[in-house]
Structure 1
Amino acid sequence: MTEPQREFDIVLYGATGFVGKLTAQYLAGHPAVGSGAVRIALAGRSAERLTAVRDGLGPAAADWPIVIADADRPDTLRAMAARTRVVVTTVGPYARYGLPLVAACAAAGTDYADLTGEPNFILDSIDAFHKQAIDTGARIVHACGFDSIPSDLGVFALHRRAQADQAGELLDTNLVLRSMSGGVSGGTVASALEMMDACARDPELRRALADPYTLSPDRGAEPELGGQPDARWHRGAEIAPELAGYWTGAFVMAPSNTRVVRRSNALLDYAYGDRFGYAEQMSLGRSVLAPVAAAVVTGVQAASMSLGSRFFDRLPRGLVDRVMPKPGSGPSDAARENGHYTIETYTATSGGRRYRATVAQQGDPGYKATAVLLGESGLALALDRAALSDLRGVLTPASAMGDALLTRLPEAGVRLDVERLD
């Protein structure tokens, strides 16, 4: 497939937002940018605000062009997409603002990366633009932040290790969030509220999102492994002997992350295996109160999934909007620097071996860490073309650029390793 000649390698759309600014800062400090190997432009609605962001990025960004684009003006999105090889976007909630940009990139054959944790948006993107993106050669890659790269790449790394060891296919696989420090971004809250609002208005969407394989390209090809609930609690030893004494409960991002990972397996022609089962949870420690905490956390998540969207339209939205963090807001520099996360993913293989993948990163997961993950995703799409998969269409991080990210992320300070456990 012939590569189009474009003016830019990456356009960062939404560069004046909180995470957009952090992503711009990360790119401006990247060695590839300093060496002149990548051409970057900043995009958004206000030339004045974009210029102010650029002026604060230092010498490496001094000559970055400004591109005016607005989600309410699809013609500006089409013009932007036609000028670049990759669009990286932080403009959410994506269900409200994202589809016109996906449409523009799919039509132009332009690669795309975002931060969505909204499975309803991904489903709409697949339904409307997957086939067109295949035809034009575009890679539309959703969920390139803390949601869902640690999940998606952790499993992909396990697959690569089992493949290298000739250990067979992946079977029961469980992600456990071992530790995390950081806040919830205003954009994440806005996306969650947007999704609940959509589900409250659309019973068919509620039913679709209850399916663990709702993002699968071929529902009939998926294994029947039961419901694979996203809200469950366990003794740690039920997951792996290494977790004996711990308790785990529901992980709030499991409903989105698990469906992304299952889509990766399907898009990769079931490379993980046709009996691959996947779940996510978080560790709640080993104190005497841990089982109580596990039950409470899991119960709250189960209730919110089954009832929250149904009664969302009865909530006083004005009160919710006043209490929740606003889009574009974020924590202090110190809080962003001191944040962190550690994720462990355990699997057993059909060859009788067990492995653990660890993904860990310094920096607030929703802000600094996410900016690194998104920035590296954009750079992978722009610069690592030979290392990307041959797939086109609406993809996931692992199915589009798994091998490239396995190389890039450790070089960017992300711990990503796999060890054999027996």
Structure 2
Amino acid sequence: MRDHDIVVYGATGFVGVLVAEYLAAHAPAGTRIALAGRSADRLAAVRDRLGVDWPVIVADAHDTDRLAAMAASTRVVATTAGPYAKYGRTLAHACAAAGTDYADLTGEVLFARRSIDENDELARSTGARIVHSCGFDSIPSDLGVHVLHRRVAADGAGELTDTTLVVTRLRGGFSGGTIDSLRHQLDAVRKDRDLRRIAASPYSLSPDRSAEPDLGRQEDLVTLRGPEVDPALRGNLAPFVMAPYNTRVVRRSNALRQFAYGRSFRYREATSVGTSPLSPVIAAGTKTGLVALAAGLSMPPTRFVLDRLLPKPGEGPDEETRRTGHFTMDIFTRTTTGARYTARFRAKGDPGYAATALMFGEAALALAVDRDSLPPSGGGVLTPATALGDVLVDRLRAAGVEITSRILSDPSGKK
């Protein structure tokens, strides 16, 4: 019998406090939750602010012994302490070794790849579910395609082929933590050619690159016209900033499921910029801007300036912005039978903060409370779809998130 059901690590950070608040309000009675981080005083302050009697655990991110003891004391560790390449490796490994389920919010390709290499086999042997990317990265993408696949399979409409997620609405603040993660990854790839190659590969998170089908070039940052995605979609599409990470997570889900989505499954992400005459210019400018941001953060002179303009780690939007934010993602696919389907993932609250706290909190509860109902993974380094699947879909729907799917057309006329 372990002492805790969930340990929230990084509980004094901006997102950590939001996750703790969510669990305090929504965890079932009797759920044993602890707060963990580096400072006992700051943890106690969070506990007092929440009005709970949860225990606190002091453990530095690089203290192997304390992290091992913490992992062994709980069924689930939910960590918000990033960048994960800097603060997450020791903890993820401790959980894999202890047979403890682990969830985080990473959007870092290199960290996720290293975790797979270091922890997958070990976690399989202990039964631990190591589940990366349980927030805005990458639950809407991963579960959205999961739901789409389930609908197509239930209809007997073949397999998924060309599939595109389109961010049709988004309102929210900028994340200092996301920017900091980007800085760390750019630093790593600048110094190491092999890491650059891994980061650039569309199959960098694949369990076995040699088993992946040859689908040609798959770009991360795409500009498209709406009808290229689906005849009903109007306007122009710009690159989605998180596509370079989310696409790799979704491809890993397909591979972990023995290519259940399809051997011809191609996946990309973009964001709508409307139908105005200027929308093609906006789309192209967005792509140029994202490339320029990465280049600017990679070079010391421009990075010096950008570091003073961009949000800092630990900074986030105010309460009103978090409350009034929202996002809608629509996923379009064609199947091998020629049918067209779409799925929608829509949530209220700032995507990177309020909505992420909800998604992450429900993911942690799914691991802690619903373990017997989860997909029979056998442990390992998993994705939200392969680790949590329909259990998390049902939880999110019950929490007010819209997750739907429907058919758009069927050439056979059977649907």
Residues 158-197 of structure 1 correspond to what in structure 2 (within 5 A)?
A: 158-197=148-187
User: Do structure 1's residue 407 and structure 2's residue 394 form an aligned pair?
Assistant: yes
- The answer for the alignment partner of 1:334 in structure 2 is 320
- The answer for the alignment partner of 2:412 in structure 1 is none
Tell me by how many angstroms 1:277 deviates: 0.5
Deviations 1:223-261 (A, max 9, x none): 1111110111111001011213x1001111000000000
- The answer for the alignment partner of 2:35 in structure 1 is 42
- Secondary structure of the residue aligned to 2:333 is strand
Deviations 1:276-299 (A, max 9, x none): 100000001000000111111123
User: Do structure 1's residue 12 and structure 2's residue 8 form an aligned pair?
Assistant: yes
How many residues get paired? 408
C-alpha distance in structure 2 between counterparts of 1:302 and 1:163, whole Å: 38
Contact 1:264/1:398, CA 8 A, preserved across alignment: yes
Tell me by how many angstroms 1:352 deviates: 2.3
Where structure 2 has 5 or more consecutive residues not aligned to the other structure, the ranges are 410-415
- The answer for the alignment partner of 1:133 in structure 2 is 123
- The answer for the alignment partner of 2:333 in structure 1 is 347
Q: Which amino acid aligns with 1:365?
A: P
Q: Which amino acid aligns with 1:380?
A: A
Greater displacement, 138-147 / 313-322: 313-322
- Secondary structure of the residue aligned to 1:421 is strand
- Secondary structure of the residue aligned to 1:241 is coil
- The answer for the alignment partner of 1:71 in structure 2 is 61
Q: Which amino acid aligns with 2:117?
A: D
Residues 222-301 of structure 1 correspond to what in structure 2 (within 5 A)?
A: 222-244=212-234, 246-301=235-290
Q: Which amino acid aligns with 2:358?
A: V
Contact 2:175/2:352, CA 8 A, preserved across alignment: yes
Contact 2:296/2:303, CA 8 A, preserved across alignment: no
Residues 19-38 of structure 1 correspond to what in structure 2 (within 5 A)?
A: 19-30=15-26, 32-33=27-28, 35-36=29-30, 38=31
- The answer for the alignment partner of 1:103 in structure 2 is 93
User: Do structure 1's residue 82 and structure 2's residue 94 form an aligned pair?
Assistant: no
Q: Which amino acid aligns with 1:180?
A: L
Deviations 1:105-160 (A, max 9, x none): 01101100000000110011111111111111111100000010000000000011
Match of 2:365 among 379, 398, 416: 379
What value does the CA root-mean-square deviation take over the aligned residues?
1.3
C-alpha distance in structure 2 between counterparts of 1:72 and 1:238, whole Å: 48
Tell me by how many angstroms 1:318 deviates: 4.2
C-alpha distance in structure 2 between counterparts of 1:203 and 1:158, whole Å: 37
Q: Percent identity?
A: 57
Tell me by how many angstroms 1:308 deviates: 5.7
- The answer for the alignment partner of 2:406 in structure 1 is 419
Q: TM-score by structure 1 length?
A: 0.94
C-alpha distance in structure 1 between counterparts of 2:22 and 2:83, whole Å: 22
C-alpha distance in structure 1 between counterparts of 2:177 and 2:268, whole Å: 25
C-alpha distance in structure 2 between counterparts of 1:44 and 1:81, whole Å: 13
Where structure 1 has 5 or more consecutive residues not aligned to the other structure, the ranges are none
C-alpha distance in structure 2 between counterparts of 1:189 and 1:66, whole Å: 29
Q: TM-score by structure 2 length?
A: 0.96
